[in-house]
Structure 1
């Protein structure tokens, strides 16, 4: 369960200016904002979405057209989600962000436009052409100012604090003098491109040396008890269907299956997993690995690589072998596979994930609430957010 929002004000790079309406996106910029139905995109629009992904090398994998398209197809349920598209004068997409109307922020009644993502999309945020981040946010916020509907705010969940699009949002909000809040801020294990040692001088950290020694001992014990230990990286030229089926069965056989949270327990989640692994594998982005002992598969994991960064996805392990820590043994192998210092790795671990010596850094992830609409609307929003903060005994500057 998520902690209650703290409603901290978003950082302001410079002194705040009086609130002003953002200019109309169609006024002097050559940009227009359109609200498209994801399931009814014409082939030409789907092609523009795909070309936008090619122009967005810094975007996270979960925002790319082939991943987000699959999520929208399989996981929206009864939600009414629209794809907010900022279109250039030549018809190409500058950026896209799925939005849905939501009614609460934490326990506080605040109708707002929420950036939509599926349960198994571990980062949020828009897909934006490189270099167009500020223009995208100005156009989208301007459109929401003009036609906010029932929403008092735009809320973007799961933004990586170091992504260019996130920095552009915070900068644009500050420059426009908009009120904004950070209702949630968390971090998770990662490697931010420094290598796998955990120290600046290249020497293995004490925690990493200890973890390696312990896992080496467990690996020897596993080999003695069950047979030869092997780690296999699924070849890119081999069909992934058998790997997918085995992973779903392995995960469902464990505690996630008993608790109803395994992918196979929800048809939409299983379908998203199958589709994104297939498509990611076809495109050369998905990496699939397994650890076996004596020919018996004990742990499996997957991750994606694109844009010079890797993103952890799903892992499962055999519970009967948990004393041998097969999941940790496999993660050690993944860390060694990704030892290239240029390839950053976001574990995409859940909130509250402890420190991990194989991933010695922490990547910060935030939610951001931004005021939209008329001054009156912004005043109502500020009152609601302020009341929530006061109720929780939190101070605001």
Structure 2
């Protein structure tokens, strides 16, 4: 493709340089929302209400920029970004997707112009001296990656995968009981029913879904308290333990609920919450963000009991076709229940042929990954002694 044929990276009227990437807060909300509705592939963590809430207060994740692609006044591509220096302390002219407090970085690309949008994002990055773009936790097999692959191929380029894994997902078009039987088997389901009956000895067991902004705000209090009461609280990683993180989740969940894109699911025994989870919705996909449980009821598997109800809830919702656990690979709770597998990885996208900066970035991040994995194995061996 000749330079004159490349898609225009920025066309919306603005007093700023049209080829410059912008602060995330300068992306017009209406254009962002319109792109969400037309996205070729969903990403609940790059919805405007979620990512802007992260950008405003979440600990260490604020002040993000954005690559944007425009066509005829419409936003057709969006990727929140930070510098490689900020993300990894490497002083190279490389951008990295911004961490949206959720393990997915798939960019929003217009389904009617996905390849064009990807090419325009890359053009804008080049115009600002960027040599490569790093995606952390990007969907490897979806239409967004396919569009980016095609856009790079036109320049004789190809993505390089640093690391990849699969994580649990749910095919919500199936019958829930069939999903659960296939995943857990009759014997395990019988044991879970026994545990639920034992749980009911402490009070009536109910499953509640908060949808409206006021319902979500009230249910979030219980979720935050449960999360902080368990192992996350002991490790200091609960949302409630960082003022900025709590402010982010409160703002994001209420704002998304107002648009029908957030639910908080709660398992109660009597009037007390024993398990609770936050779910984000984008297009026909749900995202199981986090759960919190009352560990005093641990012998009754409250997290699993909640997830059984969530599975039934999603499989009977005609608006939802699939769900992403957004969990770590091999997660002991969700993997046996949700048996679909989503391919996720960290990828370097070079923007120039035979570019040493892209090669150096790939090498440095690959080495970092192998060193971290090696350290984890050493710690696991020491703990097992």
The TM tier, using the shorter chain, reads: 0.7 to 0.9
Residue 159 in structure 1 maps to residue 142 in structure 2: no
Q: What SS class does the counterpart of residue 204 from structure 1 fall into?
A: helix
Give the structure 2 partner of residue 35 of structure 1: 21
Give the structure 2 partner of residue 347 of structure 1: 325
Contact 2:216 2:263 in 1 (8 A): no
Give the structure 2 partner of residue 102 of structure 1: 84
- Aligned counterparts, 1:130-169, within 5 A: 130-148=111-129, 151-169=130-148
Q: What SS class does the counterpart of residue 205 from structure 1 fall into?
A: helix
Q: Whole-Å Cα distance in 2 between the matches of residues 206 and 138 of structure 1?
A: 41
Q: Whole-Å Cα distance in 2 between the matches of residues 59 and 80 of structure 1?
A: 24
Encode CA deviations 1:230-281: one digit per residue, 9 max, x unaligned: 2222253853222112221221122211210000111222122111210121
Residue 317 in structure 1 maps to residue 296 in structure 2: no
Q: What SS class does the counterpart of residue 215 from structure 2 fall into?
A: coil
- CA spacing shift, 1:188–1:172, aligned 2, 3 Å: same
State the Cα distance separating 1:386 from its structure 2 match: 5.5
Encode CA deviations 1:46-87: one digit per residue, 9 max, x unaligned: 322222223326321111222222222223748653111112
Give the structure 2 partner of residue 7 of structure 1: none
Encode CA deviations 1:85-128: one digit per residue, 9 max, x unaligned: 1122x32211111111114997987552101123x222112122
Residue ranges of structure 1 left out of the alignment (5+ in a row): 1-21
Aligned mate of 1:223, from 200, 221, 228:
200
Q: Whole-Å Cα distance in 2 between the matches of residues 99 and 184 of structure 1?
A: 20
Give the structure 1 partner of residue 375 of structure 2: none
Q: Whole-Å Cα distance in 1 between the matches of residues 166 and 292 of structure 2?
A: 22
Residue 87 in structure 1 maps to residue 70 in structure 2: yes
Residue 114 in structure 1 maps to residue 96 in structure 2: yes
Q: What SS class does the counterpart of residue 254 from structure 2 fall into?
A: helix
Aligned mate of 2:110, from 129, 133, 137:
129
State the Cα distance separating 1:193 from its structure 2 match: 4.5
Higher helix fraction (1 or 2): 2
Give the structure 1 partner of residue 341 of structure 2: 362
Contact 1:312 1:345 in 2 (8 A): yes
Q: How many residues get paired?
A: 359
Residue ranges of structure 2 left out of the alignment (5+ in a row): 11-18, 372-385
The Cα RMSD (Å) is 3.1
Encode CA deviations 1:291-318: one digit per residue, 9 max, x unaligned: 1223322111121233111111121010
- CA spacing shift, 1:250–1:66, aligned 2, 3 Å: same
State the Cα distance separating 1:325 from its structure 2 match: 1.0
Moved more, 58-67 or 172-181: 172-181
Q: Whole-Å Cα distance in 1 between the matches of residues 277 and 361 of structure 2?
A: 43
State the Cα distance separating 1:173 from its structure 2 match: 2.3
Give the structure 1 partner of residue 376 of structure 2: none
Q: What SS class does the counterpart of residue 209 from structure 1 fall into?
A: helix
- CA spacing shift, 1:132–1:261, aligned 2, 3 Å: same
State the Cα distance separating 1:356 from its structure 2 match: 2.9
Encode CA deviations 1:159-187: one digit per residue, 9 max, x unaligned: 11233211211232234221431112111
Contact 1:252 1:265 in 2 (8 A): yes
Q: Whole-Å Cα distance in 1 between the matches of residues 62 and 261 of structure 2?
A: 29
Give the structure 1 partner of residue 38 of structure 2: 55
- Aligned counterparts, 1:256-335, within 5 A: 256-335=232-311
Residue 195 in structure 1 maps to residue 143 in structure 2: no
